[in-house]
Structure 1
């Protein structure tokens, strides 16, 4: 990912255009950093109604995945959620120090 960010930065500097180039490069880098997707990935995902990622494709995986395919990749983990003063706190295994009456699900 560092190489990709460096390449995007270099491309923005080599373009030597106006401020719009710097803004679009900055937005692209911010998008890649926060969502692991480029702006083009977001646009293609909106058109296809799928989750598209260049980084995932670079790793040898599928470029676009449907919501069902994404859900199938998430391993099911049991949740033990307890009522607390601040709201609800969840754990992947039961907490023996908590009262069973505070167990929500």
Structure 2
């Protein structure tokens, strides 16, 4: 992310609970979706929406397993990050900030 561009761009802020989990439509293949933080866990906090997605590694929890995915941070609060990653389609979910590390796709 270009630091000068990020400094000059105004922050866009929305309530975190308005950014909902997204799962691809995989037809007849039924796989359980990953867990995303609940509205109560998000705590009615304002989230900063990235002017440009930030490449990250993040731990995502599914019902039977946790997976470390490469993806992009799209928004964040002080304690949670809204991430997007691709695996047979595009997924989006809220995870705890401590489950996210900068890096990822081009980092």
Q: How does the TM-score come out when normalised to structure 1?
A: 0.22
- Pair member with larger Rg: 1
More helix as a share of residues: 1
TM-score, structure 2 normalization: 0.22
In terms of fraction of residues, the more strand-rich structure is: 2
